[in-house]
Amino acid sequence: MDDFALGSLFLSAFVSATVAPGGSEALLGWLLVQTSLPAWQLWVSATVGNTLGAMTTWTLGTLLAWGWTWRRPADRIPDAALRWLRQWGLPALLFSWLPVVGDGLCLAAGWLRLPWLPGLTLIAVGKGLRYAAVVWWLG
């Protein structure tokens, strides 16, 4: 049961970080209340899944920049995300956890070919803090 719960949370967090909608925070909260799993394990599962999902979106942005689509890549990236990244640079990725614009930030970061490792670090910190807030609030 524990492995299934952690895997489900990972998958929910991964999907929530891509362009598909998801509710990983709700699942994290439910698992915190309904299971005996340690909060840190749930936090790690959600953070890693959501971060890897964001990096998948980043990779899609990179592929769009390489011209693997028949439309201009900028047409698929929200204007707010491009503005934030151009104005604030990599630190804007701390806000990749935000609904709607967060996915756009990751996509735009890949499209703009920002440095990968610092981007990954900032995304992981932002997403980890968001899930830590959920754990703190419900724990």
- Closest C-alpha to 47, from 133, 117, 110: 133
Residue tagged 């949370």 (tokens): 9
Strand, helix or coil at 88?
Answer: helix
Average pLDDT over residues 10-18: 89
**CA 116, 122, 82, 78 torsion-angle sign:** positive
Entry pTM: 0.87
Question: What pLDDT is recorded for position 70?
Answer: 47
From 10-19, 53-62, 69-78, 96-105, the region with the lowest mean pLDDT: 69-78
Mean per-residue pLDDT over the chain, rounded:
87
**Of residues 67 and 96, which shows the higher confidence score?**
96
Average pLDDT over residues 74-97: 78
Number of other CB atoms surrounding residue 84 within 10 Å = 20
Please state, in angstroms and rounded to a whole number, the distance separating the CA atoms of residues 139 and 127.
18
Residue 40 has pLDDT above 80, yes or no: yes
Question: What pLDDT is recorded for position 77?
Answer: 59
Question: What pLDDT is recorded for position 16?
Answer: 87
Extents of the domains making up the chain? 2-138
